[in-house]
Amino acid sequence: MKDFIIPWNDADMGTPAKTGAPVTLTVDGAAVTVPEGTSVMRAAYEAGITVPKLCATDSVEAFGSCRLCVVEIEGRRGTPASCTTPVVEGMVVRTQSAKVQKIRKGVMELYISDHPLDCLTCSANGDCELQDMAGAVGLRDVRYEPGENHFDPTGTGALSMADAKRREGDGNFRYIPKDESNPYFTYDPSKCIVCSRCVRACEEVQGTFALTIEGRGFESRVSAGGAVDDFLTSDCVSCGACVQACPTATLQEKSVAELGTPTRSVVTTCAYCGVGCSFKAEMNGDQLVRMVPYKNGKANRGHSCVKGRFAYGYAEHKDRILSPMIRESIDDPWQEVSWDEAIGFAAKRLKSLQKDYGRRSVGVITSSRCTNEETYLVQKLARGVFMNNNTDTCARVCHSPTGYGLGQTFGTSAGTQDFDSVEQTNVVIVIGANPTDGHPVFASRLKKRLRAGAELIVIDPRRIDLVKSAHVEAAHHLPLRPGTNVAVVTALSHVIVTEGLMDEDFIRERCDWNEFLEYADFVSQERHSPEATEMLTGVPAETLRAAARTFARGGNGAIYYGLGVTEHSQGSTTVMGIANLAMLTGNIGRPGVGVNPLRGQNNVQGSCDMGSFPHELPGYRHVKLPEVRKTFEAAWGVTIDPEPGLRIPNMLDAAVDGTFKGLYCQGEDILQSDPDTKHVAAGLAAMECVIVHDLFLNETANYAHVFLPGSSFLEKDGTFTNAERRINMVRRVMAPKAGYADWEVTQLLAQAMGADWEYAHPREIMAEIAATTPTFAGVTYERINELGSIQWPCNDDAPEGTPLMHVDEFKRGKGRFMITEYVATDEKTGPRFPLLLTTGRILSQYNVGAQTRRTANSTWHEEDVLEIHPHDAEVRGVKEGDFVKLASRSGETALRATLTDRVSTGVVYTTFHHPDTQANVITTDFSDWATNCPEYKVTAVQVSPSNGPTDWQERYNAQAEQSRRILPAAE
Amino acid sequence: MSPEKMVTMANQIATFFMTQPGEDQASRVADHINDFWEPRMRRQLLDYVAAGGEGLSPLLIEATKEVREPAQ
Ligand code: SF4
Ligand code: SF4
Ligand code: SF4
Ligand code: FES
């Protein structure tokens, strides 16, 4: 076997990579060939030569301000800056000479004269480019007297803080103390060298434009927001790009200041959202010092957001439960016990339930938070040990319609592109998604493309940030009424078909022509025109027509969508409508186009791939198919039930009916995240054995009989699959705090129930997945390590994976147009409930908030608030910040209101990150027709002034408190 | 589950396939239910139809002829 090299090298090459025709030049006598447009600095690096630099870094375009990187070029006068000089064929470069050495030394001397000499006690000691460069250029002396400076608070000429402490002086008016307002990093102006790398990173990488350089010359410094702002009050979203770019300790993680510089690093994958960013977990021993985005990560390309970058503290939080616990009844306090006892208790209960109530009386819920290997084992537990198909995943409540809709039209249940594809797109539709909050790193990549000229169409009831933010503005915003997605998408197709804007060649070649004709006939009907649907959807006909034309004529068109599409009673129909739109315009099968679901949680894609759904074995193959069952029956040595199992809502219904009695729930909090909380609570309360396997005593655990402590993503090996179908490695950086990784716990339970499982490492589980699932046939840990990551399908036909799907033909053969008739949801407004509630998430918090609430991210979002239009607020006597009662036919809750015209009149909006809010007490049991994905995004509600929490909230909290009591272990 | 909820869910499926072209809508409804409804849900549906099927759309009643009888 050939040796493989993991591309661990993530050194800074000074300026960004370019693509272009090859150019050959000589650097210090060595010939090197690089793409046209590359800087001399980067070319030198390619030739193995590092040129000193301060203001350049390869995440942002060169700026040429420090002049440390000067070189000599044959035939050119003077000493050009290598970072801003592009290569030319035949160029001869010298990076070292007496002349450039002298210039560099002079530059460094000036920098150091206005820099404190606190190196030994500086938090960046050993990790500071200014230090490195002082060494590299041979700076041995500073001839300047300590005159005016920014670092000596006493104004007495102290060279370091330590020195200043001993002196008294009248104060240095140029000195500015540290800005500690951000919970995760500090800004220490006294150490700033004004290289502007942070400013450029905030603009180019993140796209927030929060930073500027204020003042000129000696007065200039970095400023966040306006004159009176600090980092926290500015527009800063705490993505960390500036911290990453800063060469000094000026912008520095507080964790490094506290814990010291890390000594080793392990590349792993963020466990928050479906973007699946790669990170380096930087460690001291087994202590995590910081997470830094990994440059070679193909999903994030070196960028991050506040969650993955900083919000990992929950893994060490005191609320984590580290001992297994059991109790006879949910009215009892918890009893800490050994692993053996807890597993034995659980296995015995489950077995006796199956004996008394039948084989199908128990089931599992797999997690979109856990690894592929863990998910695979949990569904295997249901199928191979419980001997039924009662397995479901929380993807049920988010992206199950994506699976169904794309499966029907294209033949695969997944997005068609990789994230890099956005760099080649010309017009983007974002529908029912709020990427700047939900998928921040993707949003940054999208915004970068928009700033470069791509057009944007936003279809969302709310004026999300993308509609208008710094240097980005949507060409069209279609502010539809919640629940009318299908009508809007069909109207877009109406315009495209009736105005003859479709891509007929593509349709003839790639799709079923007869089905297209039927579809064209359907959408052309006058009742689907924007004019006819305007009253219903609230979208002005002209805006909709303009958007359709932009999309159809704009070149490469890509559609990105989120839960605002799927979480409706017609979720699956909208997904089909989106697929129709892509086929109609020929936007499938090449870079820059496609249909791209933005997945909520880190491993939604993976948990679906791994056979979590009750009707599908791994790889989306129905359990009714004998040949598929045979594969698994041979591998597992069991007989698989050919009948579909219960989906989550069905499990709860069956529990209330008394036929479903036991549940093993891994890494999910269905009580908080699923709709109609009262119904979920009733279902859980009716069960006789609820096993919760989680990091924390979550809300579901209030109804549990067994609690098995989970392991965080830092404590186990495995893989996550992101929204691009990219299988990323999760690497263990510390031992599981509770003793076992999650896959081991599932295995213990299976063994206790009689299974002969003997997995020694997750790698063996992946081998079984590859052996049984054709789309994963070529996936092994070795292969992932070698390639960095792999996008499935990966098999003999595509040994390196598949970045783009459906290139020459659709997975199912011909693309299939589906008729998408709009059907109004039964959830209608009326006199009692005149407003429509829709829900979403915000940047700093994540889903039910179990993790992010246990970090300093709560600085940005302490509670869920209700957004309401000022007009709707006024007629109800509601003022900014008032406590209001939010009621629907399911229940009522209370929270604070904020007045904003981001939402239209008639629509209110809230997030669901905090258990106190109980937004799901309000949501109803209506669901998608095909998949039972709940209709979170539309609930008819009424809002009225209130003076505090509702009775339900108080009763709920009392029950929760009662239920969380823990008795210490009996010795 | 409550009969009303089951009727709503079943009718939603019928409503979708009703709008699809072709002659075989009833079979497609039945296929969908056979593929996605667990045996006890199908049992409940079939029993409900046998008891009169109040509130179910005609297409759904038609489809139940092809809904697989769950084995005991
Ligand atoms: S953390 Fe991100 S958003 Fe905030 S200033 Fe730095 S780059 Fe800009
Ligand atoms: S804060 Fe850091 S990156 Fe920004 S200008 Fe100062 S030294 Fe450069
Ligand atoms: S964008 Fe998503 S995957 Fe990336 S760091 Fe943020 S939460 Fe993690
Ligand atoms: S690194 Fe080239 S001018 Fe600063």
| Complete DSSP assignment for A579-617 | HHHHHHTT--SSTT-EEEE--SBTTHHHHHHTT-STTEE
With 90 as the cut, is the pLDDT of residue A388 above it?
A: yes
Angle formed at CA A55 by CA A104 and CA A175, multiple of 5 degrees: 95
Q: How many other CB atoms sit within 10 Å of the CB of residue A222?
A: 23
pLDDT for A933:
79
- Residue A261 structure tokens: 């510089």
Q: How far is CA A21 from CA A24, A41, A89, in A?
A: 10, 18, 11
**Per-residue DSSP letters for A416-484?**
SS-GGGGGG-SEEEEES--HHHHSHHHHHHHHHHHHTT-EEEEE-SS--GGGEETTEE-SEEE-PPTT-
CA of A282 to the centre of ligand 4 (A): 28
Distance, CA of A923 to CA of A184 (rounded, Å): 35
Which of B6, B8, B16, B31 to mutate: most A Cβ within 10 Å?
A: B16
Phi and psi, residue A214, nearest 5°? -95, 145
Inter-chain touch A656–B35, beta carbons under 8 Å: no
Judged by a CB distance cut-off of 8 A, whether residue A512 touches chain B is no
Kindly indicate the confidence band of residue A143, based on its pLDDT and cuts at 50, 70 and 90: confident
Q: What is the rounded (10 degree) CA torsion for A253, A254, A258, A260?
A: 10
Average pLDDT score over chain A: 88
pLDDT(A862) > 90: no
A644 part of contact set with chain B, CB < 8 Å: yes
Cβ-contact A721, A376 below 8 angstroms: no
DSSP letters, A523-577, are HHSGGGSHHHHHHHH---HHHHHHHHHHHHHSSSEEEEE-HHHHSSTTHHHHHHH
Q: What is the pLDDT of residues A891-926, one digit of tens each?
A: 888 888 999 988 888 889 988 777 666 667 777 777
pLDDT of residue A971: 46
User: What distance in angstroms lies between residue A239's CA and the mean position of ligand 1's atoms?
Assistant: 5
A251 pocket-lining for ligand 2 (C-beta < 6 Å): yes
Higher pLDDT, A53 or A147: A53
Question: What is the pLDDT, as a whole number, of residue A642?
Answer: 93
- pLDDT band of residue A483 (cuts 50, 70, 90) is confident
For residue A7, the model assigns a pLDDT of 45
Of the bound ligands, which one is closest to the alpha carbon of residue A100? 4
Distance, first Cα to last Cα, chain B: 19
Give the rounded percent of residues in chain A with a pLDDT score beyond 90: 52
Q: Which of A31-40, A99-108, A216-225 has the lowest mean pLDDT?
A: A216-225
Residue nearest to atom 2 of ligand 3 (CA): A273
CA distance B62 to chain A (A): 18
The CATH number corresponding to A325-331+340-398+603-791 among 3.30.465.10, 3.40.50.740, 3.90.730.10, 3.65.10.10 equals: 3.40.50.740
The pLDDT, as a whole number, for residue A969 is 59
Put simply, the answer to whether B38 touches A644 (Cβ < 8 Å) is: yes
Nearest residue by C-alpha to atom 4 in ligand 2: A198
Whose tokens are 């272009």? That residue is A20
Buried b / exposed e along A582-610 (16+ C-beta atoms within 10 A): bbbbbbbbbbbbbbbbbbbbbbbbbbbbb
| A308/A310 Cα distance (integer angstroms) | 6
- Judge contact between A893 and A919, C-beta under 8 A: yes
What is the full per-residue pLDDT of chain B (72 aa) written as tens digits?
888 889 988 998 988 888 888 888 899 899 999 999 999 999 999 999 999 988 999 999 988 998 888 876
For the residues of A643-682, what is the DSSP string, one character each? Answer: S----HHHHHHHHHHTS--EEEEES--HHHHSS-HHHHHH
Q: What is the pLDDT of residues A389-448, one digit of tens each?
A: 999 987 766 677 888 888 888 887 788 898 889 999 999 999 988 888 889 999 999 999
Whether chain A has a CB inside 8 Å of the CB on B23: the answer is: no
- In chain A, the residue whose alpha carbon lies closest to the alpha carbon of B12 is A929
Residues A714 and A288: beta-carbon distance below 8 Å: yes
Q: Ligand 1 centre from A428 Cα, in Å?
A: 25
Q: Residue A514: CB partners within 8 Å, gap ≥ 6? A: none
Q: Which of A227, A259, A242, A261 is nearest to A186 (CA)?
A: A242
φ and ψ of A248, to 5 deg = -120, -170
Ligand 4 centre to CA of A636 (Å) is 61
CB atoms closer than 10 angstroms to residue A89: 11
Closest CB to A518: pick one of B21, B32, B41.
B21
Q: Answer yes or no: is B8 within a domain.
A: yes
Question: What is the reported pLDDT for A3?
Answer: 35
Task: Name the 3-class secondary structure at A353.
Answer: helix
Instruction: Quote the minimal CA–CA distance from B30 to chain A in Å.
Output: 13
How many Å apart are CA A306 and CA A845, to the nearest integer?
9
Q: How many CB atoms lie within 10 A of CB A80?
A: 18
Do β-strands A334-336 and A966-967 pair in parallel, antiparallel, or remain unpaired? parallel
Residue B71 lies in a domain: no
Q: Which ligand is the nearest neighbour of the Cα of A724?
A: 3
**DSSP reduced 3-state for A55:** coil
Question: Is residue A8 predicted with pLDDT exceeding 80?
Answer: no
Which of A209-218, A232-241, A912-921 is predicted least confidently?
Answer: A912-921
Please write down the HEC assignment for all residues of A775-799: HHCCCCHHHHHHHCEEECCCCCCCC
Predicted pLDDT at A26: 94
Rounded to the nearest angstrom, the distance between the alpha carbon of A197 and the centre of ligand 2 is 6
Residue A196 pLDDT more than 70? Answer: yes
How close B55 gets to chain A, by Cα (Å)?
A: 15
In this structure, is residue B72 part of a structural domain? no
Q: For residues A24 and A93, what is the distance between their CA atoms, to the nearest angstrom?
A: 12
CB of residue A681 inside a 6 A radius of ligand 2: no
Enter the tokens of residue A475.
């060409």
The percentage of residues in chain A with a pLDDT greater than 70, rounded to a whole number, is: 96
Q: Using a CB–CB cutoff of 8 Å, tell me whether B21 touches chain A.
A: yes
Q: Which one, of A672, A746, A749, lies nearest residue A710 by Cα?
A: A746
Q: Is A67 in the pocket of ligand 4 (CB under 6 A)?
A: yes
Q: What's the CATH fold of domain A835-963?
A: Barwin-like endoglucanases (2.40.40)
Ligand 4 atom nearest the C-alpha of A83 is 2
B4 close to A (CB below 8 A) = no
CA A935 to CA A566: how far, in whole Å? Answer: 8
End-to-end CA distance of chain A: 54
Domain range A3-136, its CATH number among 3.30.70.1400, 3.20.20.70, 3.40.50.2020, 3.10.20.740: 3.10.20.740
Residue A6's pLDDT is 44
A329-335: long-range pairs with CB below 8 Å, 24+: A329/A705, A330/A685, A330/A702, A330/A703, A330/A704, A330/A705, A330/A963, A331/A962, A331/A963, A333/A965, A333/A966, A333/A967, A334/A707, A334/A964, A334/A965, A334/A966, A334/A967, A335/A966, A335/A967, A335/A969, A335/A970
Q: Is the pLDDT of residue A704 over 90?
A: yes
Residue A4: is its pLDDT beyond 60? no
Q: Hey, is A759 helix, strand or coil?
A: coil
DSSP state of A851: T
Which one of A650, A657, A816 makes the best mutation probe of the B interface by having the most chain B beta carbons within 10 Å? A650
pTM: 0.89
Can you read off the two tokens belonging to residue A312? 């990992």
Nearest-CA neighbor of A346 among A640, A666, A607?
A666
Structure tokens at A523: 């959408």
CA–CA distance, A306 with A253 (Å, rounded to integer): 12
Residue A196 C-alpha to ligand 4 middle, in angstroms?
Answer: 11
Residue A222: its H or E element:
strand A221-224
CB count within 10 Å of CB A560 equals 26
Distances (CA, A) of A302 to A444, A802, B56: 12, 22, 55
A57 ligand 2 Cβ < 6 A: no
Q: How confident is the model at residue A799 (pLDDT cuts 50, 70, 90)?
A: confident
Task: Report, as an integer, the average pLDDT of A332-355.
Answer: 94
**CA torsion through residues A380, A325, A720, A362, sign:** positive
Helix (H, G, I), strand (E, B) or coil at A322: coil
The reply to whether ligand 4 has any atom less than 6 angstroms from the CB of A61 is no
Higher pLDDT among residues A822 and A584, named by residue: A584
| Burial degree of A760 (CB within 10 A; 0-12, 13-18, 19+) | exposed
Check residue A850 and give its pLDDT. Answer: 66
Cα-based torsion angle of the residue sequence B53, B54, B60, B66 in order, rounded to the nearest 10 degrees: 0
What's the CA-to-centroid distance between B1 and ligand 3, angstroms? 39
Contact A10, A19 (CB under 8 A): no
Instruction: Evaluate if residue A1 carries a pLDDT over 60.
Output: no
Helices B3-18 and B39-50, packing angle to 10 deg? 90
What CATH class does A400-597 carry?
Answer: alpha beta
B9 touches chain A (CB under 8 A): yes
Strand partners, A719: A729
Q: Is B46 on the interface with A (CB under 8 A)?
A: no
What's the confidence (pLDDT) of residue A848?
59
The verdict on a CB contact (< 8 Å) between A929 and B15 is yes
> What pLDDT is stored for residue A932 in this prediction?
78
For residue A963, the model assigns a pLDDT of 78
Output the CA angle A157-A158-A160, nearest 5 degrees.
Answer: 145
| Angle, vertex CA A618, rays to CA A614 and CA A623, nearest 5 | 50
Domain boundaries, chain A: 3-136, 161-316, 325-331+340-398+603-791, 400-597, 835-963
Whether residues A930 and B15 touch (CB distance < 8 A) is answered with no
- Please compute the mean of the pLDDT values over residues A581-604 and round it to a whole number: 88
When pLDDT is averaged across residues A97-101 and rounded to a whole number, the result is 93
More confident residue, A809 or A278: A278
Residue corresponding to tokens 């539709």:
A429
Which CATH number does the domain A161-316 belong to among 3.30.70.20, 3.40.50.261, 3.40.50.720, 3.90.380.10? 3.30.70.20
A106 burial (CB, 10 Å; 0-12 / 13-18 / 19+) is: middle
Which residue range forms the structural domain that includes residue B33? 3-66
Element (H, E) at A94: strand A92-94
Q: Is the CB of A54 under 6 A from ligand 4?
A: yes
Q: What is the pLDDT of residues A755-797, one digit of tens each?
A: 999 999 999 999 999 999 999 999 999 999 988 889 988 988 8
What lines the ligand 1 site, CB under 6 Å? A 201-202, 206, 208, 210-211, 224, 236-242
Give dist(CA A242, CA A251) in Å, integer: 7
- Count the domains in chain B: 1
Give, using CA atoms, the residue closest to atom 8 of ligand 1.
A202
Does the beta carbon of A60 sit less than 6 angstroms from any atom of ligand 2? no
